[in-house]
Structure 1
Amino acid sequence: MGKPSVFATIARAVVLILCCAAVLVPFLAVVSTSVASPAQLTSAGGFVLWPEEPSLTAFRAVLSGGVVTRAMLVSIGVTGVGTLASVAVTVGLAYALSRPGSLFHKPLLLGTLFTLFFNPGIIPTYMVVRQLGLIDSFAALVLPVLVSGFNVVVMRAFFLEIPQELLESARIDGASEARTLRSIVLPLSKAVIAVIGLFYAVMYWNAFFTALLYINSTEKWPLQLIVRTFVVNQTPLAADDLDLAGEVVPPQLSVQMAILVLAIIPILVVYPFIQKHFTKGLLIGAVKG
């Protein structure tokens, strides 16, 4: 391939800059508006691209112990517990399906693949959750979506790529399947576990429809339902919602943008720490054939 022309290089640079601006400018506007002063919001008539006198008043208001603080704690708890449980079950099921001689290997594999093509639907799932007595409980946010067939298939394919010589040597040394999984398979699978864990964490953190279906009590709402109610639906937040104890409520737009920032930042913070394990996990599994 020949060296690209100057025009082609400039055109690619312009397109890249425009794509970055399309992502960064709205995010900057959200963050800037959340920390802008009331006077600047009034003069700007809406969103602010650069705060002149940054203030954390809106964040102190939403984190003062009201509905937003409680919802954020719910989301953190559901995401943490749900991600750990989903990864553990996915690893166990995928490892069992990667061993041809495992109990009920074919029926379980066919059942997992069946879920990729056929979805039970909202009404049957709701009826099952109701019959199990999970309505208005935190378990309803985790158990119905505990395992993803796609994630199981991806992890099973990764386990099948692990050299069989390593597993056979472990069996010769007398290691059980659990010991083989813990001491050999898991250290070689950091990459796929990191990816699947990130998939589950993003799913639990961003999920609002399951909470909308199964949660009736507002004190059990996750953060995404707060975003839907007070940001998307533009429902005003009162002083009682923010637990300000008689203090003045910051501008609604500033409070709404602060809630959006709280909903976005955790994934942005966690992702770089997960990303560094991707390449490292792939290299750990390399062996000389």
Structure 2
Amino acid sequence: MSSVRPAWQGRPGPGLRLAKVVALAVVVLLVLFPVWTVVATSLAEPGDVVANGGWVVWPHGITFGAYAEILDGGIVTRALAISAGVTVVGTALSLTCTVGLAYALSRPGVYAGRPLLLLILFTFLFPPGMIPLFLVVRSTGLFDQYAALVLPFVVNAFNLVVMRGFFQSIPRDLIEAARIDGAGDLAVLWRVVLPLSKAVLAVVGLFYAVAYWNRFFEAIIYFNDQSKWPIGTVLRQYVTGGADLTGEAALVSAPQSTQMAVVVLALTPIVCVYPFLQRYFAKGVLTGALKA
């Protein structure tokens, strides 16, 4: 038997390690430079922004005037509150429905479990188009309601498959032991399954939260009242120079620093939450995917 180790198991030499460090540093710089430019532009003086053609890499002076302007009780403040409410309510409702359905589909012998799973996978492969979804929203009375941003997207097929696979990986001996002790289905789910599923709950919860927070196109279609637009839709209007939202001044006249300040405010919540959930990503997604 040969004692020579494969190339991928060997210890890399100094040259290869240096190349990896350089490559990683280049990737980090490529990712951080646009983010830094956006933040620097939002904090730069108006004259500095104009002098540099709209983008500032290193501002000569720092001002929070752009943030004060957009947070002064205007449309951005309202849009942030709307997005926060939609994200919190939508994520909680989606997690509740996904957990219940995934747990039911993960149990062997559940009535009509396989046909229901195939139906869900069919919607994953062939999602509904924009026109059928619009007709459903209008016929159910959700038009111009905040529920239109939540109810049509309560259960995501991909998240459901990942969570179902994770539940299937839980040893059946634990569940059977709980049943012997007299626990019902809800007690088993609450006391046994969920405490062991923190990783997949964190991952799926973040997936839902990001989707609800970034939702913008649906608001344009389902809302006639522009004051109900979430931050994603308002951000699009600011950045692209869209229609007038205030009824007083067109957004196309907004300076570059104000646009970048809106971008920073829209990105901050997700950026702040992600580091606390990052360690759950590999375990939650890989376990669910492998078992699905």
| Fold in common (TM above 0.5) | yes
> Which stretch shifts more, 52-61 or 181-190?
52-61
1:47 is aligned to 55
Contact 2:200 2:280 in 1 (8 A): no
Contact 2:98 2:160 in 1 (8 A): yes
Contact 2:235 2:262 in 1 (8 A): yes
Distance 1:149 1:223 in 2: 25
What root-mean-square deviation, in Å, do the aligned CA atoms of Structure 1 and Structure 2 show? 2.4
Distance 2:24 2:114 in 1: 48
Distance 1:152 1:205 in 2: 19
Work out whether 1:261 is the aligned partner of 2:264. yes
2:289 is aligned to none
Identity of paired residues, percent?
Answer: 50
Displacement of 1:157: 0.7
Residue 81 (structure 1) aligned to one of 81, 89, 95 = 89
Distance 1:17 1:204 in 2: 32
Paired letter, 1:154: V
Listed one character per residue, the Cα deviations across residues 56-97 of structure 1 (whole Å, up to 9, x for unaligned) are 111111111111111111111111110111011000000000
Q: Structure 2: give runs of 5+ residues left out of the alignment.
A: 1-6, 286-292
Question: Alignment length, in residue pairs?
Answer: 275
1:121 is aligned to 129
Work out whether 1:271 is the aligned partner of 2:282. no
1:152 is aligned to 160
Change (3 A) 1:88 1:18: same
Q: Structure 1: give runs of 5+ residues left out of the alignment.
A: 243-249, 283-289
Displacement of 1:10: 3.5
Contact 1:97 1:109 in 2 (8 A): yes
Displacement of 1:104: 2.8
Listed one character per residue, the Cα deviations across residues 119-149 of structure 1 (whole Å, up to 9, x for unaligned) are 2211111111110011111000001111011
TM-score, normalization by structure 1? 0.88
TM-score, normalization by structure 2? 0.87
Distance 1:9 1:207 in 2: 41
Contact 1:237 1:252 in 2 (8 A): no
Change (3 A) 1:223 1:193: same
Distance 2:242 2:138 in 1: 31
* Deviating 4+ runs (over 4 angstroms): 234-242, 276-282
Paired letter, 2:27: C
1:77 aligned counterpart, secondary structure:
helix
1:150 aligned counterpart, secondary structure:
helix
Work out whether 1:187 is the aligned partner of 2:190. no
Change (3 A) 1:235 1:135: closer
Distance 1:99 1:37 in 2: 60
Change (3 A) 1:237 1:37: farther
Contact 1:230 1:236 in 2 (8 A): no
Distance 1:279 1:16 in 2: 20
Distance 2:28 2:244 in 1: 32
